[in-house]
Structure 1
Amino acid sequence: MMGALVRAQGGQATGQERKGRPPSVLVFFTDQQRWDTVGVYGSPMTLTPNLDALARKGTLFQIAVTPQPVCAPARACLWTGVYQTKHGVWRNGTGLSPDTPTIAHHFKRAGYIVGYIGKWHLAPGKLGAGFVPPEYRGGFVDFWEAANVLEHTSHPYEGALYDANGKELRFSGIYRTDFLTQRAIRFLREVGKDPFLLVVSYLEPHQQNDWNRFVAPDGYASKFANPFVPHDLRPFPGDWQKELPDYYGCVARLDENLGEIVRTLAELGRLDDTVIVFTSDHGCHFRTRNAEYKRSAHESSVRVPLVIAGPKFNRAQVVPEVVSLTDVAPTLLDAAGLPVPQEMQGKSLLPLVERRVDEWRNEAFIQISESMVGRALRTERWKYCVVAPDKQGGHDPASERYVEWQLYDLYADPHELVNLAGRREYRDIAAQLRERLKARMVEAGEPEPHIDEARFYP
């Protein structure tokens, strides 16, 4: 709680003190942000100068993939380092078991102050959208200012978080992103010299659900009228035509808030000993691939930004290998000098950062729910997706039988416009990917499935 943090305050740290303590960790976590909104990933929109600067100083992961393109399952994978088969959160509303260890538990045992601000989305849906009971906070025991489903307890300029005791923390007349950043800066100013793990979990650029639209800060959408349109959106109707200016405005304001946090860390003498992670839970295809914004295997759904800066990551480099959000938890433990539990299914990214790449598989495993029961593999070149035709995405977590559904050559078709599934010329490729996907499913804890070949020809 904040009172405990106030007592820990002790001013700026000296260089000698910084050398003798483990690094702190700050996770700047956005919701539904496409990787290609970021300048260093190729966006021409100049939305993210602060993140671009952080990436040029630190490490940019060129191909980062979510293991589950929907909010709650992706978050559970991120904080636990395991797949949905193991942590059990296979759709929104399921809730993360209080018995499931997260990075917060591991960092707390190592003496860190662990805090969480913003959207959680890992308490059981039956408990409501607001206050999260202590047992469902995933081990974030020292500081808590959050709402389980923030999009249902707030709007862009008014709403509420809840503190550790259930007290409502209301805001009004301030943009939601800015309010969360204010709370984060307050935490940083009061934590003192102690090592900390702080997650700041924003809702933006996710749409405001009950308004059925994206909402940028006042005046920001007009800055991005007639914007650059990503090539994967252009052939399809969707709703990108009216939503992109607001979406880009949300991203721009998030980046300005990132800049405020980085400047605060520098002012407090904590920037050089803090690992900063910037990432998102999944992407956004603007209703071009199904009836809503994610829950598909396309790059627009599964590819996310991932930038890590700070101790061990300030190498001014790009890591080109395929990585997963399940790799973030073991990476942060490894970077802090803490043991990585054997039960974690993700792998530390530090070997890649250090360019020890020989044993890296260069592929990401994806599980898809709600829109369908699907499984996918994203390699450096290929996207291979199967679907269970006899199962319902909102009711069934898995299947024993799947059918090949999508195959994309990302070298030739990076925007995934030509589905090659079932074509004679690609049967050998599909057969190889089928076996690789089955192996990853078994490794994640699923029974080995039967996968039927796609039928393109009669």
Structure 2
Amino acid sequence: MIGNFHGILKSLAVIFLLPLFWSCQKARESDETSPQGPPNVIFVLADQWRAQAMGYAGDENIITPNIDRLAQESLVFQNAVAVVPVCAPWRASFMTGQYPLTNGLFYNDKPLPTEAVTMGKLFKEAGYQTGYIGKWHLNGHERGEDPFSGRNKPVPRERRQGFDYWKVREVTHDYTNSYYFDENDEKQFWEGYDVFPQTDSAISYIRQNKETPFLLFLSWGPPHDPYFSAPKEYRDMYDASRLQLRGNVPESLQDSAQNVLAGYYAHCTAMDKALGDLLEVVEKEGLADNTVFVFTSDHGDMLMSKGVLKKQRPWDESIMVPLLIRYPGKLQRKRRDVWDPINTPDLLPTLLGICGLEVPESMEGEDFSAVLLEGRELDNEAALITLPVPFHEWQFMNGGREYRGVRTRKYTFVRDLLGPWLLYDNEQDPYQQHNLVDMPQFSQLGDYLDGLLQKRLKETGDEFLPADAYMEKWGYLYDRNDSLRHENYLEINR
């Protein structure tokens, strides 16, 4: 009886959240394939939303009707991999199309170079209106200041990387008492749960710029912790005791994991509602066919899988992110799954290619636009995963370590400074419970994957040095206690 009630509640929630625009069959079934003029770009970024926590990905707990419907009209990337699964490094890698050791952002709260060739600058030069709303996390802080001091300061105009419309906070995770700085560095407040007024601002931007090509970047803070701060109406949609957990959550932590997951899901469902509002306006304004709509996240969250929270780890809950790209004018309004891995530095070159813009030589990622537009696979065997410097919640003293690895369709292979560390067959072992790296019968497989890794490291100029070497090269100071480690920290944590 309780189970039936839960099902009814979930069905009602879906009905409540699903915007009316999804019922516009005529618009959805448009067969227009050659929209006029450059496409608009709407890029929606969530923070710490793992790939597995999606209805379309098979998570039966979560309520995400709008995202699930978007997936039915999009390219669905089944193996989108965060090159460094942590906030600022992902953002810098995406914005530049470069690997973190090239642009220097491999650690949070360090500055992206002002002169970088970035998404905003390129679209602005191509004649686009450019707008950014929400979390930035690319400005850093002054050397010697408290590492989090820059999170509360405005970003100077010359450091906005080509974005003109500007309602931005460097970083905050207080989603109900949130402020931002506008184009004139004036402090303004978002009213209520900031996802909703940020989305309203995005809707206003779309309406104001619908007659010209525009790039809009909407960067939400959730579902990044704190996990229990979503509005009550969304928290009430989840009964923690009924949530099914992934198979790698330790039994002793399952009650805690269910509670955390309920709060996390509440954020996700609130954001799904906001995404639906945004998509509804795109439809009503007649912009859908000639708009490239992207939804993704910068990294995942372990959420008690393997007994830990948050990110930086090389496991799938941390490195795998959702990635949807909808462009009805050239990609049709139907789901197509893309199975070959795509890496963070590949995203911007591919987006530029889809929009018909030139990819600058500074970018190291691959432009997969041609094969995607032709309906083919990427022909890309592996994506690189790296952590040049562990920090903050996964600092050395908490088990953090430097690593490099590759994620293919089927396998994960990772090295630390001592040598091969992890090897998983992700098809046979989706919860990555069985490390095959020291088993003789898998040595040939390990050697092959290690060869793929060494090739990627050579291509990206990565010598895989200890963390201190990169901190010294870029003149960075460790934050607080991040540099502290046991002398034999690698052996202790193996």
TM-score (norm 1): 0.85
Write the distance in 1 (CA, Å) between the matches of 2:59 and 2:238. Answer: 13
Q: How does 1:32-71 map to 2 (within 5 A)?
A: 32-71=48-87
1:202 aligns with 2:231: no
Amino acid paired to 1:132? V
Match of 1:337 in 2: 356
Amino acid paired to 2:408? T
- Does the Cα contact within 8 Å between 1:40 and 1:55 map onto a contact in 2? yes
- Does the Cα contact within 8 Å between 1:442 and 1:448 map onto a contact in 2? no
1:129 aligns with 2:151: yes
Amino acid paired to 2:291? T
2:168 to 136, 139, 146: 146
- Does the Cα contact within 8 Å between 1:205 and 1:214 map onto a contact in 2? no
1:156 aligns with 2:191: no
- Does the Cα contact within 8 Å between 2:62 and 2:265 map onto a contact in 1? no
Match of 1:305 in 2: 322
Amino acid paired to 2:284? E
Match of 2:405 in 1: 376
1:272 aligns with 2:289: yes
Q: 1:448 to 1:120 in 2, by over 3 A?
A: closer
- Does the Cα contact within 8 Å between 1:66 and 1:325 map onto a contact in 2? yes
2:262 to 225, 242, 245: 245
Amino acid paired to 2:63? L
Write the distance in 1 (CA, Å) between the matches of 2:441 and 2:206. Answer: 57
Q: State percent identity of aligned pairs.
A: 31
What secondary structure, in the 3-state scheme, does the structure 1 residue paired with 2:225 have?
A: coil
Match of 1:120 in 2: 136
1:218 aligns with 2:237: no
What secondary structure, in the 3-state scheme, does the structure 2 residue paired with 1:385 have?
A: strand
2:436 to 420, 425, 429: 420
- Does the Cα contact within 8 Å between 2:74 and 2:336 map onto a contact in 1? yes
Task: Name the stretch that deviates more: 214-223 or 303-312.
Answer: 214-223
1:181 aligns with 2:199: yes
What secondary structure, in the 3-state scheme, does the structure 1 residue paired with 2:78 have?
A: strand
Q: 1:351 to 1:41 in 2, by over 3 A?
A: farther
- Does the Cα contact within 8 Å between 1:376 and 1:383 map onto a contact in 2? yes
Amino acid paired to 1:366? I
1:170 to 177, 189, 209: 189
More helix by share: 2
- Does the Cα contact within 8 Å between 1:438 and 1:448 map onto a contact in 2? no
- Does the Cα contact within 8 Å between 2:457 and 2:463 map onto a contact in 1? yes
Q: How far apart are 1:412 and its partner, in Å?
A: 1.2
Task: Name the stretch that deviates more: 260-269 or 365-374.
Answer: 365-374
Task: Name the stretch that deviates more: 252-261 or 174-183.
Answer: 174-183
- Does the Cα contact within 8 Å between 1:129 and 1:150 map onto a contact in 2? yes
Amino acid paired to 2:234? Y
Q: How far apart are 1:448 and its partner, in Å?
A: 7.0
Deviations, residues 356-408 of structure 1 (Å, cap 9, x unaligned): 44x722210011132321111001111011112xxxxxxxxxxxxx4211111
- Does the Cα contact within 8 Å between 1:439 and 1:448 map onto a contact in 2? no
Write the distance in 1 (CA, Å) between the matches of 2:218 and 2:318. Answer: 22
Write the distance in 1 (CA, Å) between the matches of 2:432 and 2:181. Answer: 42
Q: 1:19 to 1:300 in 2, by over 3 A?
A: closer
Q: 1:181 to 1:428 in 2, by over 3 A?
A: same
Match of 2:345 in 1: 326
Q: How far apart are 1:289 and its partner, in Å?
A: 4.4
Write the distance in 2 (CA, Å) between the matches of 1:291 and 1:50. Answer: 30
Root-mean-square deviation (Å): 2.3
What secondary structure, in the 3-state scheme, does the structure 2 residue paired with 1:404 have?
A: strand
Deviations, residues 144-203 of structure 1 (Å, cap 9, x unaligned): 11111122xxx232220111211111124x212112111111211211311011100000
Amino acid paired to 2:158? E
Write the distance in 2 (CA, Å) between the matches of 1:234 and 1:306. Answer: 29
Amino acid paired to 1:335? I
- Does the Cα contact within 8 Å between 1:290 and 1:296 map onto a contact in 2? no
TM-score (norm 2): 0.79
- Does the Cα contact within 8 Å between 2:109 and 2:150 map onto a contact in 1? no
Write the distance in 2 (CA, Å) between the matches of 1:434 and 1:192. Answer: 49
- Does the Cα contact within 8 Å between 1:65 and 1:364 map onto a contact in 2? yes
Q: How far apart are 1:290 and its partner, in Å?
A: 7.1
More strand by share: 1
Write the distance in 2 (CA, Å) between the matches of 1:122 and 1:313. Answer: 32
Write the distance in 1 (CA, Å) between the matches of 2:71 and 2:115. Answer: 35
Match of 1:83 in 2: 99
Q: How far apart are 1:243 and its partner, in Å?
A: 0.7
Amino acid paired to 1:362? E
Q: How far apart are 1:250 and its partner, in Å?
A: 0.6
- Does the Cα contact within 8 Å between 2:129 and 2:214 map onto a contact in 1? yes
Q: 1:41 to 1:352 in 2, by over 3 A?
A: farther
Write the distance in 1 (CA, Å) between the matches of 2:48 and 2:356. Answer: 31
Structure 1, unpaired ranges of 5+: 1-14, 389-401
Amino acid paired to 1:106? L
Q: 1:313 to 1:232 in 2, by over 3 A?
A: farther
